[in-house]
Amino acid sequence: MIATCAALAEHSGTIRGAMDAVECHSRTYAQAGYEALGGAGSPFQSWLNILLVIYVAALGYRLMMGHDSRSFNLTTIGLTIGAVVALVGNWTLFQTLVFDLVTKAPLEIAAIVTHPATNNSAFAGDPRASIQVVYDQLSLAATDLARASGPNTPIYAGGKSGAAQALWQSSQSLFYATAGVFSLSVITAAVLTAVGPILITLSLFEVTRGLFAGWVRGLLSALLVSLLCWLSAALMLSILEPGLVTLARQRMAGDLQVDTALSVSALVMLFSVVQVGVAAMGVMMAMGFKWPEPARSSAGPRQPQSDVSMTGMAGRRSRETLSRAEQLSTTLRQSPASQAYRTDSTASRPSSSIPGIATNDTDQRLTGMTNRRAGRLPDQDRVRP
């Protein structure tokens, strides 16, 4: 059953109220969209059943036609089909495993990380409430400084009027750097969750698996951005706490100092710039995710291993023998000594006029030496006297 969201509570504060409203409405939107696609009466369920039948039939046809079963992992395929069927039709399971992990886990991790410092810091343990306290103190100090500067005082005049304007700007920067960034992560997760059944189904097919991987990267971006920003916010609170405590004491005593206000506002503005860089780093980390591809082997007809190995060994031996013989013959023919011997022998011995007798027995002798070293002794290679 989809729950309804309550109206903004005035006592919760600006930042906490905005974040609670965004989280509640985003969760309602994500659940409604997910159940509209994965519910029992949805037409998408009929399409999913048809796609699963076609997928299993195509897999069985490939096996019947003699394709090598090693070209696809049947265990992985079975687990993928089971995961798709379980996630698409069950919002409670998807909410527990995915949506709550993206939207709730970052704040819980930040609270766990800062919990050991609760003895030394009033802001540790609950970052959301601490940010609201910082925003309230900045707003109250800006109001008191503006009242103390007098009416119709220009901002560029500096002094208390300029400090009040700096505190107002820092409070707005704090709002956008915290509530704005975290709300963006939650809304991104809600939109991706609403179309989750379609993208999860696309993980079955290799052609559309890239879309599923992009969907996972989007959810990882929302998770990492929220996690890193909460951790940086916890660090900012620890850095800002001494100056903020001093500012609160001065405000309660009615003696706000301009230097204190400007220092606190400068730290908040610096944190806002850092928060943007941290969010960009989270997106870059999520883009590095790659969906693992299954290992594939050739699906051609298999031959007995013994026949293949024997054929390969015989072919290699034949090629080695021929190449060595040819290399030896070429070396002997091109050596200076054999060229000189061939020249002297040709010049000193007259050509034979008897048919069938070779006119140049030097080439025959070299050929016979090559064949004997190569392991071949044919009768026609013997040199006749």
Residue 33 and residue 17: Cα distance in Å, rounded?
24
Residue 321 vs residue 85, higher pLDDT: 85
- pLDDT reported for residue 72: 60
Lowest mean pLDDT among 147-151, 172-176, 239-243, 352-356: 352-356
Give the model's confidence band at 69: pLDDT under 50 very low, under 70 low, under 90 confident, else very high.
low
* Domain edges within the chain: 10-287, 357-385
CB of 240 closer than 8 Å to CB of 267: yes
Dig out the tokens for 276 from the structure: 């943007």
Q: pLDDT per residue over 168-214, tens digit each?
A: 999 999 999 999 999 999 999 999 999 999 999 988 888 888 899 99
Once rounded to an integer, what is the mean pLDDT over residues 271-277? 93
Once rounded to an integer, what is the mean pLDDT over residues 267-296? 86
What 3-state DSSP class applies to 308?
A: helix
Give the model's confidence band at 333: pLDDT under 50 very low, under 70 low, under 90 confident, else very high.
low
Lowest mean pLDDT among 78-82, 98-102, 193-197, 335-339: 335-339
What is the DSSP secondary-structure string of 45-110? Answer: HHHHHHHHHHHHHHHHHHHHTT--GGGS-HHHHHHHHHHHHHHHT-HHHHIIIIIHHHHTHHHHHH
Q: Is the pLDDT of residue 152 over 80?
A: no
Residue 174 and residue 172: Cα distance in Å, rounded?
5
Highest mean pLDDT among 109-118, 286-295, 302-311: 109-118
Question: Which has the closest alpha carbon to 224: 282, 288, 284?
Answer: 282
Lowest mean pLDDT among 3-7, 284-288, 330-334: 330-334
CB of 223 closer than 8 Å to CB of 283: no
Helix or strand holding residue 133 (H, E): helix 127-149
Residue 294 and residue 72: Cα distance in Å, rounded?
7
Once rounded to an integer, what is the mean pLDDT over residues 216-239? 93
Burial label for 157, CB within 10 Å (0-12, 13-18, 19+), is exposed
Helix or strand holding residue 28 (H, E): helix 14-38
Q: Is the pLDDT of residue 350 over 60?
A: no
Hunting for tokens 């951005």 — which residue is that?
225
Q: Is the pLDDT of residue 47 over 70?
A: yes
339-345 long-range contacts, Cβ below 8 Å, gap at least 24? none
| Mean pLDDT (the chain, rounded) | 78
CB of 232 closer than 8 Å to CB of 181: no
